[in-house]
Each structure stands twice: as C-alpha cells, then as structure tokens.
C-alpha cells in the first residue's frame, strides 16, 4: 500500500520529557520510522489561553480537554510561572531521540509566540525567531537541521524563504493533499513542501459523535484501500500521553492495511521534483481547527 509519514510536533517541556520517550518506545515496538520536530526555546503554553477570544477556540477546548492533556502547571507557563527553556532543560532527551535513529528537525523557537504573531510580522522578526531555533538546534545536535514543520501550520513568506536560505530540501509547514513547490510573491522556491494530509486526532474528537472509542476506526476508514502516501501530524502532548492507546490502535490498523511508516526524509527521497506542481502560499480554514492556517489550494 502506501506510506504513512509520521511527523511529531513537540510543543512543550512536558511533551519533550514525557511524550517524546513514550512515542519512541511505541515506534520501537512497531518498528516505525518517524520525524520529531522540536520546540527549542521557552515554553509559554499559558499565553495560549489568550486565544479564548478567537472564534472556535473555546469549542475546540471543550472537545479536547486542554487542561487534561497539558496539566495545570503547563498552562501557567508564561502567566503565573516563568516559561522554562525547553532546549536547555531537555537537550539530553532530544539527543537521545536522534541517537535512537529518528529524524529530528525544527518546530519553532517559542511555540505560542510564533503561532500568534508570524502571519503579520516582517522579515527581521521572522529571521530572528528562526535563527534562534537554528542556532539552538546546532548547539544540541552538533549539526544543522534537515527539515522544518511550522508551529500551528503558521508561516509567512519570509519564513518560507528562510527555509530555502538554510538549504533545506523539504519541509512540512501547512495542510494539503500532495507535495508541491511553494510560490512566494510570484517566485517559485526551491524546497519541497510536504503538507499534512490527514486530519489530526484533536480535530476529529468530539465532532459528529466521534469519541475516543471510535476515532481510530474513523481515521482508518480514510486510509483503507487508499493508494496515496499520507502525512500524519501527531503531538507529543497528546498521542505521546493520554491518547497513546488510540495512537497504538492507529499504528496497528495501518500496519494491517499494509501501510509502511516513514520519516519526512524517507518520503522526500521517493519524490521526483521535476513532476511536482507549484502552488502559491495561501491561507484557509481546516475543519475542527480554529483560525486560518497555511493550506495548499
């Protein structure tokens, strides 16, 4: 059948310390290859609560129980508690994942700060944020990152151009249906975007009666007899913790369907760049997620 590219967004200190090693153990059991994308700077998860005024956010919170998944202490970072520096506190855990054979890349410097601001920011702001994460990654891993996956699927044109400037061949910064070459201000960039193609568990849970008992079956229907490669984004804070049993059901189901598991690099190696279409960078909404994000037309 097809490949399922497993792309893990790691947003928080707790996700890095607890969710990441939990997922590594699961992947080892399934002999699954995967890509971990790390948040490398301060954990300001508490700042996200300012989003309560955004249409759709409270509805999503009520469906997915943010407090249950992230914990009270996590939600105080940046509000009542100082935001801990994830890259400083968990460098050893990050290196262990790379040494275990998993592909590692950049998610962001400051997850909430990036997600809430990048769309409207200029080149100087964007490059400063991205260079912080790049420098920290090199400091932790001893080599430059090979890929990038944006926090909250939020980017701007300068950010896409920075990926080219870093010399990355591939990234996964938005949502869509197939790999493509991004176009910014009429100029085709050189790296390949491999968008997330499948819905995330937190977008599906609580919608149309889908709950924790039925969500795996719902997701597996989308990949049954589907010959197309898929990119699935999961979160260390969700599938690496409370939703781990559901994620294991998914892996079992995908394996039974005949799918194989791949890193972003594995997937890129199968692509013929000369056949890829070009699409302009654009914004749109995704069912189950509040606000707009980068989408493939």
Q: Is the pLDDT of residue 186 over 60?
A: yes
pLDDT tens string 97-142:
999 999 999 999 999 899 999 999 999 999 999 999 999 999 999 9
Q: Domain range holding 240?
A: 3-295
Q: 274: which 2 tokens?
A: 């000369």
3-state helix, strand, coil in the chain (%, to 5): 45, 20, 35
Q: 172: which 2 tokens?
A: 């996964």
pLDDT tens string 145-172:
999 999 999 999 999 999 999 999 999 9
What is the predicted pLDDT for the residue at 178? 98
Number of domains in the chain: 1
Residue that has been written with the tokens 């790999």 in this structure: 179
Q: Which of 267, 202, 207, 283 is nearest to 231 (CA)?
A: 267
What is the predicted pLDDT for the residue at 63? 44
What is the predicted pLDDT for the residue at 290? 86
Alpha-carbon dihedral 52, 55, 59, 64, rounded to 10 degrees: -70
CATH number for 81: 3.20.20.370
pLDDT bin (cut points 50, 70, 90) of residue 47 is very low
What is the predicted pLDDT for the residue at 83? 77
Beta strands in the chain (DSSP E): 3-10, 35-39, 103-108, 170-171, 181-184, 187-188, 192-193, 230-235, 260-262, 278-280, 282-284, 293-295
pLDDT bin (cut points 50, 70, 90) of residue 48 is low
Q: Is the pLDDT of residue 67 over 90?
A: no
Q: Which of 59, 67, 114, 51 is nearest to 288 (CA)?
A: 59
As a whole number of angstroms, the distance between CA 151 and CA 109 comes to 9
Helices (H), 120-184: 123-141, 157-165
pLDDT bin (cut points 50, 70, 90) of residue 57 is very low
What is the predicted pLDDT for the residue at 75? 53
């Amino acid at each position: 059948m097809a490949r399922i590219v497993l792309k893990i967004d790691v947003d928080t200190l707790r996700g890095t310390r607890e969710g990441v090693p939990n997922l590594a153990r699961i992947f080892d059991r399934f002999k699954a290859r995967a890509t971990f994308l790390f948040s490398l700077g301060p954990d300001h998860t508490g700042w996200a609560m300012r989003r309560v005024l955004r249409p759709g956010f409270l509805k999503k919170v009520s469906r997915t129980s943010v407090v249950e998944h992230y914990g009270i202490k996590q939600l105080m970072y940046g509000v009542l508690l100082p935001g801990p520096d994830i890259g400083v506190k968990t460098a050893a855990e990050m290196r262990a994942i790379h040494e275990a054979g998993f592909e590692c890349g950049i998610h962001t410097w400051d997850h909430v700060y990036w997600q809430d601001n990048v769309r409207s920011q200029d080149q100087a702001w964007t490059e400063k944020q991205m260079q912080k994460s790049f420098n920290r990654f090199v400091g932790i891993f001893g080599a430059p990152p090979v890929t990038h996956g944006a926090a909250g699927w939020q980017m701007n044109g300068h950010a896409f151009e920075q990926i080219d400037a870093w010399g990355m061949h591939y990234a996964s910064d938005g949502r869509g249906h197939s790999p493509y070459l991004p176009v910014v201000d009429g100029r085709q960039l050189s790296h390949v975007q491999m968008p997330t193609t499948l819905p995330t568990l937190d977008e599906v849970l609580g919608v149309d009666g889908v709950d924790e008992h039925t969500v795996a079956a719902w997701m597996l229907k989308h990949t049954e007899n589907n010959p197309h490669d898929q990119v699935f984004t999961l979160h260390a804070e969700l599938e690496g913790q409370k939703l781990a049993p559901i994620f294991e059901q998914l892996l079992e189901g995908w394996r039974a369907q005949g799918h194989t598991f791949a890193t972003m690099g594995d997937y890129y190696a199968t692509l013929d760049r000369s056949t890829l279409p070009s699409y302009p960078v654009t914004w749109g909404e995704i069912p189950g997620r509040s606000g707009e994000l980068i989408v493939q037309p």
